[in-house]
Amino acid sequence: MSKYVSTDPATGVVVKEFDSATDAEVDSAVEAAHTAYGAWRRADVAERTGLLQRIADTYRERSEELAALMTTEMGKPVAQARGEVALAASIFEYYAAKGPEFLEEEQLDIAGQGSAVVRTEAIGALVGVMPWNYPHYQVARFVAPNLLLGNTILLKHASNCPQQALAIADLVEAAGAPAGVYQNVFATNDQVARMIAHPFVQGVSLTGSERAGQAVGSVAGAHMKKCVLELGGSDPFIVLADADPAAAAREAATGRFANAGQACTSSKRIIVEDAVWDSFLEEFLRQAASWQLGDPARDETKLGPMSSVAGRADLEGQVQDAVAKGATVHLGGSAPDGPGAYYPATVLSGVDTTMRAYQEELFGPVAVLYRVRSAEEAVAVANDSPFGLGAAVFGGDEDHARQVADQLDVGMVGINTTIKSAPDLPFGGVKASGVGRELGRFGLDEFANKKLVRKLTS
């Protein structure tokens, strides 16, 4: 039987192990979710928003505990972990506050007789397949709007963060969720497919790799289940000729190296016009060098270990392939000796289409810089990717920067800022970066029945 294993990536020490669920336990969880849905969908909106607010409050009360567990289990520097806990709390609180407004029926202006409204209603039990890189934020943005709607949740978390999965389930229960409304399931991949196919389950949301999205999406499609897929990204960060190179470099470094570069929306491809290349490169290298490896449990640490030795090995392979084919290493480029999954802030240039680093997502603290002759070339390089999640454009003339941004094939773009998640901003991409949106009003509508109610009399 496969295991859910909690390993400290700073030391490589296995902390705890948990058995996967049995098929009977999975089936029982699905049935409990379906049973709970019958009552939860009919609960007063005030009851559902009340639960969301209590979850937000409980997150804040347990901030230190949850942040420390995140640091131990996936290596996130503790200061960044506290920030993630606060973001998760704010998402639950946002839907608690906006819930009554979002669930108001919409009156339609129709040509025929009578009246018509659209109601936003729940659809049933949902499966959530969540990743390890933002183990609380990712869960919150799926769970909060769906609990508001009246859907129920079967949560399959990443196999390397089982203690956090259990902590979230305990937190939701402590906040007063009725039995069956939210359940953690230590499911295998085969059991995830089994849950999606179950007639009691009405949809699935996955955040993960392109390969995982293809697997889940194919099962969902075969069984006519709604799915939201938030997959990989290789976000371009464009620095135009009239940009402030120092300000852009500071933002690019934070956008690339936070969370050890393990974010879908990290600034992975930094595309710089000739006019500011030298000054940008100098400042960016200075900024990157300040992201020193350290103990993630210390408040001052900005760059901790990657989540696993296996993940580091994948990243090393991509860097070594690029170097072997002629790329230049300006900083970093090799793992330090010693225990743990540490990898330094690394900066490459001279990456071309023959290298894995050109088309593949680099999920770790490696920045790739591209030198281009014009804004038009910058757009061409930015769009030459299978991914289309987020992007950033930095320039002194904001109108010109916006014109450049409008040409990018992405779901999100920032002008003189990177994409930073907020409860009221929709999140999602195009192309191989997935389908659907999360957060804001858009996230609420993904797993909602937009029910038309027509009356012939007013």
- Active centre residues (catalytic): 230, 264
Contacts of 422 (CB under 8 A, 6+ apart): 90, 439
Q: Quick count: other Cβ atoms within 10 Å of Cβ 118? A: 14
98: enclosing H helix or E strand: helix 78-102
Strand, coil or helix: 179:
coil
Strand, coil or helix: 367:
strand
Instruction: Check if the beta carbon of residue 168 is closer than 8 Å to that of residue 136.
Output: yes
Q: What is the 8-class DSSP label of residue 419? A: -
Strand, coil or helix: 17:
strand
In whole angstroms, what is the distance from residue 22 CA to residue 266 CA?
37
For the record, the structure tokens of 101 come out as 């407004």
Contacts of 173 (CB under 8 A, 6+ apart): 182
| Alpha carbons within 13 A on the beta-carbon side of 199 | 0
Annotate 413-424 with b (16+ C-beta within 10 A) or e (fewer).
bbebebbebebe
Strand, coil or helix: 157:
coil
Contacts of 442 (CB under 8 A, 6+ apart): 426, 428
Q: Return the C-alpha torsion angle 219, 224, 225, 226, nearest 10.
A: 110
317: enclosing H helix or E strand: helix 309-324
Unique residue bearing structure tokens 């709007």: 145
Instruction: Check if the beta carbon of residue 127 is closer than 8 Å to that of residue 205.
Output: yes
By C-alpha distance, which of 220, 288, 226, 222 is closest to 252? 288
